[in-house]
């Protein structure tokens, strides 16, 4: 898949993340820009993300996600992309992204390899993407990965809680 000018902005901002956050590692083969979404893996390599993965829950929590959390990283990325695309289009304040995002903690080598493969091959399966308005069928690889993640979540739910990152 060849990126248009907005896709190039998305890609540039994704990899700019490592310049702004030294505790993050990103790999080329773990990111893809699709016509209407992205897939990417974020590796948090020190305690900042592992201990504060989500916003803390207190009686009076601070506004927004905790610094260094996946939510903060994704929020800053989406904000930077939106600002640059709107500058280019001359449309200040117009939404570019959906409100939320999906995250999953990858806990097993099998899941890591399957998700890497899914990301790398995603452009080849665009014709099967459930969000493609012209999809020609369902994506068996996506269904297989979703099933694996559900099984992983059930297994993790039965064990003692551990830290992690998305």
Digit-by-digit pLDDT tens for the chain (166 residues) are: 799 999 999 999 999 999 999 999 999 999 999 999 999 999 998 755 444 455 555 556 667 888 888 999 999 999 999 999 999 999 999 999 998 898 988 888 988 999 999 999 999 999 998 889 999 998 888 888 878 877 777 766 554 444 443 3
> Residue with structure tokens 């297994």?
155
Which structural domain, as residue segments, surrounds residue 10?
5-157
Q: Kindly state whether residue 30 falls inside one of the protein's structural domains.
A: yes
Q: Give rounded-to-5 percent helix, strand, coil for the chain.
A: 50, 5, 45
Please provide the size of the chain in residues: 166
What's the rounded Cα separation, in Å, for the pair 117 and 114? Answer: 5
How far lies 102's CA from each of 41, 50, 105, 160, 166, in Å? Answer: 11, 18, 10, 24, 10
Residue 123 has what pLDDT?
A: 93
Residue 65 has what pLDDT?
A: 86
Q: Kindly state whether residue 166 falls inside one of the protein's structural domains.
A: no
> Residue with structure tokens 């702004």?
20
Q: Kindly state whether residue 163 falls inside one of the protein's structural domains.
A: no
Residue 50 has what pLDDT?
A: 47
CB 43 within 8 A of CB 73: no
pTM score? 0.78
Residue 147 has what pLDDT?
A: 83
Phi, psi of 14 (to 5 degrees): -60, -50
- Specify the number of domains making up the chain: 1
Residue 134: give its domain's CATH number: 3.30.70
Q: Kindly state whether residue 99 falls inside one of the protein's structural domains.
A: yes
Burial of 97: CB neighbours in 10 Å, binned 0-12, 13-18, 19+: middle
Q: Kindly state whether residue 133 falls inside one of the protein's structural domains.
A: yes
Q: Kindly state whether residue 164 falls inside one of the protein's structural domains.
A: no
Residue 61 has what pLDDT?
A: 62
Backbone Cα Rg of the chain: 17
């Amino acid at each position: 898949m060849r990126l248009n000018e907005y896709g190039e902005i998305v890609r540039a901002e994704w990899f700019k993340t490592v310049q702004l956050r030294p505790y993050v590692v990103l790999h080329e083969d773990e990111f893809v820009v699709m016509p209407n979404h992205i897939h990417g893996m974020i590796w948090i390599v020190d305690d900042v993300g592992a201990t504060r993965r989500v916003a803390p829950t207190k009686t009076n929590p601070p506004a927004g996600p905790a610094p260094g959390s996946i939510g903060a990283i994704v929020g800053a990325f989406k904000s930077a992309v939106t600002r640059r695309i709107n500058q280019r289009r001359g449309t200040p304040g117009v939404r570019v992204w959906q409100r939320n995002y999906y995250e999953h903690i990858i806990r097993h080598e099998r899941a890591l390899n399957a998700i890497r493969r899914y990301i790398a091959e995603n452009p080849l399966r665009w014709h099967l993407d459930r969000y493609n308005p012209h999809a020609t069928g369902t994506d068996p690889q996506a269904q297989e990965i979703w099933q694996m993640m559900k099984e992983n979540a059930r297994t993790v739910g039965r064990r003692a809680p551990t830290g992690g990152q998305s």
